[in-house]
Chains A and B, each alone.
Chain A
């Protein structure tokens, strides 16, 4: 909403001790107490217009031209955004007048960003009312005193959609001379952000901006039957609106028609109520008689129709926020007064017709001033509260009415403030007008209570810290995947029974499904970072989204990541780094993770198992065998699908299992052995694909406290298809040191446990 300060001052002559409130103060304070001042538009100084002058056109009108005698636009003059239409001047302007003065440029326009709950602020009077309340000035309404006119003989209003049209007034005016507006009106319209059209339209637009009440002016000849009807459109009914677009209507659209809606075909549409007139129903150059429509329409009905037709106008913008029925009378009075002033001496009201079966009931809030003060944490005396509410248009009755907290006031709410309805609304009204800078900031006193931690936050925090400690960097990735990515990465295919969460209105096809797996986004990040370097690790803590068997969305807390290191890829550098990081994570969170070599069958989609190299992958499970995650090197096919050159090791983990024991993890302390341990080695030659853990798990002997693989050898001295594992064994006796002979005895026992297996050959140490 654009508010020219000159017009605001006419309505509310705000002053402080020294004179009119300066524009800067006006903007700052209204920004803090009314609504956000988005922009302050200033006009060019007189000197900046030196190259322009007023000239007469061949048709006799006046326009602004530049030094080359070309017509100048608002944009060229620097006074507005319109860069296509010449700036015209009213017939009342003296061509020798000073251009700056004629255009009324000694002014500033404040542009407010408005919230949808304050329809009253979409008007100068609404703005002026707040300004008057803030600075305690008077409020001068522009010629809105209700006027009485006889009932129109030739015009009647027949409303069929009564619930959508609480009030409708039609006023017939004759003797109108259509022509350009006088300069003051053109200037006002232009500063309000519109283009001057003719005196009737400009006057109507000015009243809309002054009072927030959109009215429509029909050429009287277009209401041929003399009956103005209101009804809902029929589905498929067609109408061409003022902007020249033919529109197909639905039964959600409220229509103004020429004719009784109950007769024949229901009358000819002349307007989409509250939105736009029909083509040809408006004011023409030769119009002399006018029908003014001023009405109150159901806000939801206007909103639905405006949405349905994707047609938003200054009028619909206001109607859909709810306009007061009481605003209709003053608006008509103001418009008739303006037409009398700007449309020639013959203007005369013929009569009026009205539909207003029931005036709305009085709305009342019982106000507890004590509660208001305490909730706002402001020092406010009763008179100040009373004064501010009064300036807002409330009628305050400070009578005594028994109540636990003392005296309650009866506050009658003004029609023009649909946002005021409950006690809290009055708190806001008083608080903001008095100024929120007066709120006393005090921290609340409250009872202490233990703060319970949510595992999805403090668990995630531990997970992040541990992965950072393993040298991986944290990233945030997209929550969505496309059809193409689902196919390329062998994730569940879309379809009516697919376990996918699909958007009905995605921004674009790339962002259509909530990700069932992090891998597509993760691999895109790997590709992106490969441009920056060869070796890196990254991870993301987030969620994956799938539908369960019952169709409900299941959001799983997810950890996913990748490590790329081409230099050590062949020996599995990244692979082992990931394995170590994940096992460390499990151990520290109290959920030790066991490895299952290769990929389990039937892994969930988030695992992305189809993308992993089956011989360079493993499944992570809890001690109870529940699935926690998978990791592995990307398969050659997946490397191609991801448009990579080298294979990163990737991992995908369901974090819910890892959050199970966050605060209940207290590992038992093992005291160090009292006597030194003795170490011994044992070589085992085993077929290549025998996992080391499988061998270690079979080793038993008294006092054997630790077993591990020390070294691996393939090649010389080892048969094809085999490898030699050097096992490191530690022996410790709780009560004494073991002798060399005892240790050798035990190593022999260990070797014995493996000898039964024909696939293995065991070499005892010398």
Chain B
């Protein structure tokens, strides 16, 4: 009998004998078939040995037929394997149906080993403190879109296009020209557009800057800004308000100071420094080493702030001749990093529970 025909018939017999019957071992059986027919010592390989004994003319025709057979078996096995995998998946999905309406006790499915009380993320704890403190002073908490338009994020804040001030913010843009907000100041703009003074509001939230990520810089971070607009608001009001907050944050004896700074949306613009809570402002620890928190400076730069620029008020339809205000902002991640001595900001967003369970 023709040796090729013999192998072909053997294969047809196997393929015809319902090779898929039990999802549990279909794959194993298919593998056995592959070895039997296509393996190195398989039946197709054996046919190639016959080839050596043939004349050149016969060789060509014979070789072609063997290859056809090989292709046919390979294709059939691949197809069967795909079917078997799909059936195994189906079987896995079909098994173990859970009745979501069953009481946990009746289902006998208790989880053992979760903490009795979960742990709050340190950024949330700071958020809670900020909200508690400022709502206590009569501030409302405002929210706004994280994906902003350039007017709310820049123009309204007295940061015109093509002005060097825009370079200060390394800005992301979406493919359709929106701006992932670089600060929550955009929420202050929306608030001033929506309500008339007096305005007292804080706006915590996520912001984005196109900065390379390292231990002290994140491209997405959390901050909180505050805004106060009323008649006759002064720098003295700003100072007292923030002094109270710094005392809440770092302790009642911590001193503060202002330094001039430039932010286009405030005038005067200031940076508020707080005396280092860790070393007490001396820049050194008891053993003479440099303070790791302030790095020897004695002061921590914590709150950029200032008196709201009249252009910003005007852009929101508020008359700066009648109303004035102050604004401030603070980076949550950095504050948390300082408070807890965290060495790398990325840890805060790593999703790792060893961090939240420790703090």
B147 touches A555 (CB 8 A): yes
Q: How far is the CA of A34 from the CA of B262 in the complex (A)?
A: 11
- Assess A442 versus B237: contact at CB under 8 Å? Given A504-B175, A532-B353, A563-B114: yes
Q: Does A565 belong to the interface (CB within 8 Å)?
A: yes
Q: Does A240 belong to the interface (CB within 8 Å)?
A: no
Q: How far is the CA of A453 from the CA of B141 in the complex (A)?
A: 6
Cβ contacts under 8 Å, B234 to chain A: 374-377, 442
Q: Does A183 belong to the interface (CB within 8 Å)?
A: no
- Assess A437 versus B237: contact at CB under 8 Å? Given A117-B262, A575-B98, A636-B93: no
Q: Does A23 belong to the interface (CB within 8 Å)?
A: no
- Assess A710 versus B212: contact at CB under 8 Å? Given A454-B140, A454-B143, A468-B118: no
Cβ contacts under 8 Å, B271 to chain A: 36
Binds B, one of A53-61, A82-90, A473-481: A473-481
Q: Does A689 belong to the interface (CB within 8 Å)?
A: yes
B267 touches A425 (CB 8 A): yes
Q: How far is the CA of A505 from the CA of B210 in the complex (A)?
A: 8
A689 touches B147 (CB 8 A): no
Q: Does A157 belong to the interface (CB within 8 Å)?
A: no
Q: How far is the CA of A552 from the CA of B110 in the complex (A)?
A: 44
Of the residues B176, B230, B267, contact of A551 by C-beta under 8 Å? B176
Q: Does B343 belong to the interface (CB within 8 Å)?
A: no
B112-149 CB contacts (< 8 Å) to partner A: 112-121, 123-124, 127-128, 131, 135, 138-143, 145-147
B131 touches A457 (CB 8 A): yes
Which residue of chain B is the closest to A543 with respect to CB atoms? B146
Cβ contacts under 8 Å, B180 to chain A: 503, 514
Q: Does A464 belong to the interface (CB within 8 Å)?
A: yes
B162 touches A300 (CB 8 A): yes
B59-91 CB contacts (< 8 Å) to partner A: 89
B349 touches A464 (CB 8 A): no
Cβ contacts under 8 Å, A374 to chain B: 232, 234
B258 touches A439 (CB 8 A): yes
Of the residues A300, A378, A553, contact of B178 by C-beta under 8 Å? A553
Cβ contacts under 8 Å, A614 to chain B: 93
Of the residues A378, A471, A616, contact of B97 by C-beta under 8 Å? A616
A613 touches B93 (CB 8 A): yes
Binds A, one of B17-25, B27-35, B100-108, B275-283: B100-108
Q: How far is the CA of A543 from the CA of B76 in the complex (A)?
A: 48
Q: How far is the CA of A375 from the CA of B325 in the complex (A)?
A: 10
A564-608 CB contacts (< 8 Å) to partner B: 565, 567-568, 570-577, 579-580, 595, 597
- Assess A36 versus B117: contact at CB under 8 Å? Given A440-B236, A447-B198: no
Q: Does B3 belong to the interface (CB within 8 Å)?
A: no
Cβ contacts under 8 Å, B146 to chain A: 479, 543, 545, 555
Q: How far is the CA of A503 from the CA of B146 in the complex (A)?
A: 13
A524 touches B118 (CB 8 A): no
Of the residues A377, A454, A458, A534, contact of B142 by C-beta under 8 Å? A454
Q: Does B268 belong to the interface (CB within 8 Å)?
A: yes
Q: Does B94 belong to the interface (CB within 8 Å)?
A: yes
Cβ contacts under 8 Å, A184 to chain B: none
- Assess A573 versus B109: contact at CB under 8 Å? Given A618-B100, A712-B102: yes
Cβ contacts under 8 Å, B267 to chain A: 422, 424-425, 427-428
B182-240 CB contacts (< 8 Å) to partner A: 198, 200, 204, 206, 208, 210, 212-213, 219-220, 222, 228, 230, 232-237, 239-240
Which residue of chain B is the closest to A553 with respect to CB atoms? B147
Q: How far is the CA of A244 from the CA of B180 in the complex (A)?
A: 39
Of the residues B92, B115, B243, contact of A471 by C-beta under 8 Å? B115
A572 touches B118 (CB 8 A): no
Q: How far is the CA of A709 from the CA of B101 in the complex (A)?
A: 9
Q: Does A369 belong to the interface (CB within 8 Å)?
A: no
Q: How far is the CA of A149 from the CA of B353 in the complex (A)?
A: 76
A637 touches B140 (CB 8 A): no
B353 touches A424 (CB 8 A): no
- Interface size class, chain B: 35 or more
Q: What is the count of residue pairs linking A and B with beta-carbon distances less than 8 angstroms?
A: 328
- Assess A636 versus B117: contact at CB under 8 Å? Given A442-B240, A709-B103: no
B260 touches A537 (CB 8 A): no
B240 touches A709 (CB 8 A): no
Cβ contacts under 8 Å, A637 to chain B: 89
Cβ contacts under 8 Å, B123 to chain A: 476
B262 touches A118 (CB 8 A): yes
Q: Does B153 belong to the interface (CB within 8 Å)?
A: no
B101 touches A691 (CB 8 A): yes
B147 touches A473 (CB 8 A): no
Closest Cβ–Cβ distance, residue A400 to chain B (whole Å): 21
Of the residues A375, A428, A504, A528, contact of B351 by C-beta under 8 Å? A528
A31 touches B259 (CB 8 A): yes
Cβ contacts under 8 Å, B120 to chain A: 464, 468, 474
Q: How far is the CA of A32 from the CA of B272 in the complex (A)?
A: 10
B268 touches A424 (CB 8 A): yes
Which has the most chain A C-beta neighbours within 10 Å: B128, B139, B228, B260? B260
B114 touches A458 (CB 8 A): no
Closest Cβ–Cβ distance, residue B227 to chain A (whole Å): 13
Which residue of chain A is the closest to B350 with respect to CB atoms? A528
Cβ contacts under 8 Å, B293 to chain A: none
B111 touches A708 (CB 8 A): no
Q: Does B164 belong to the interface (CB within 8 Å)?
A: yes
Of the residues B127, B140, B235, contact of A377 by C-beta under 8 Å? B235
A580 touches B104 (CB 8 A): yes
User: Can you list 23 A-B pairs with a CB-CB distance of less than 8 A?
Assistant: A32-B259, A36-B271, A117-B264, A375-B234, A376-B234, A377-B239, A424-B309, A443-B241, A446-B200, A447-B198, A454-B140, A456-B143, A473-B353, A504-B174, A505-B173, A511-B219, A568-B110, A571-B108, A573-B109, A576-B98, A576-B104, A595-B101, A615-B98
11 extra interchain contacts, Cβ-Cβ under 8 A, other than A472-B118, A478-B220, A545-B146?
A376-B234, A436-B258, A436-B259, A443-B237, A471-B114, A532-B354, A543-B146, A597-B101, A615-B95, A709-B103, A709-B106
Q: Which residues of B contact A (CB under 8 A)?
A: 89, 92-104, 106-121, 123-124, 127-128, 131, 135, 138-143, 145-147, 162, 164-165, 167-168, 172-176, 178, 180, 198, 200, 204, 206, 208, 210, 212-213, 219-220, 222, 228, 230, 232-237, 239-241, 243-244, 257-262, 264, 267-271, 307, 309-310, 324, 348-354, 356-357
> 7 smallest A-B Cβ distances: which pairs?
A377-B236, A525-B351, A471-B114, A428-B268, A115-B262, A693-B101, A535-B113
